[in-house]
Amino acid sequence: MDKTHVTAEFSGADPNRGAPRSTWQRMTPPVIAAGLGIGTLALLHFRDPHVEGSYGLCPVYVLFGVYCPGCGGMRAMHNLTDGNIIDSLHSNLLAVPLTVAFAVFVIDWILRARRGQRWRLPSLSPVIVWSFFGLLAVYSVLRNTPWGTWLTPV
């Protein structure tokens, strides 16, 4: 019987998979994510989304006439970078906590990459995930009713 030798380059296996990565290679993805987040906040700070049409129109609002969960998010971030936390929460109640969660995730990712550890996603139980989506649905419906006018974007 003829034995066939398969090399790593033809087998689909990565020959460098076990090789240690340099600090620069480990730090690049989280630093890019942090830079994109900071750049987005800078853009929203210097170009005011309160000006009509400055970023275009929300397609959900244009097509259906209702506020989506993200409506007011850019205005909330603009208000947050101006230091107006109350106005930011009034523009979009969910934008501020989600921004804080993103910042915590990226900072953890950077610290773990610097120590040479793998990045991790937060371990959330299905109950928490479904509760979040339920809260998002209730928020979406409530902000479009007469009882939820305090949730509409400013």
Give per-residue pLDDT as tens, 113-134: 999 888 887 788 999 999 999 9
Query: Binning pLDDT at 50, 70 and 90, where does residue 18 land?
Result: low
In the chain, where the domains are located: 23-151
What is the model's pLDDT at position 57? 85
What is the model's pLDDT at position 15? 54
What is the model's pLDDT at position 88? 93
What is the model's pLDDT at position 127? 96
What is the model's pLDDT at position 25? 85
What is the model's pLDDT at position 26? 87
Backbone angles phi, psi at 31, to 5 degrees: -70, -35
Backbone angles phi, psi at 56, to 5 degrees: 85, -165
Query: Binning pLDDT at 50, 70 and 90, where does residue 6 land?
Result: low
Give per-residue pLDDT as tens, 48-102: 998 888 888 889 999 999 999 999 999 999 999 999 999 999 999 999 999 999 9
Closest among 109, 108, 48 to 84, alpha carbons compared: 48
Check whether 14 has a pLDDT greater than 60.
no
- Report how far apart, in Å, the C-alpha atoms of 98 and of each of 13, 64, 93 are: 38, 25, 9
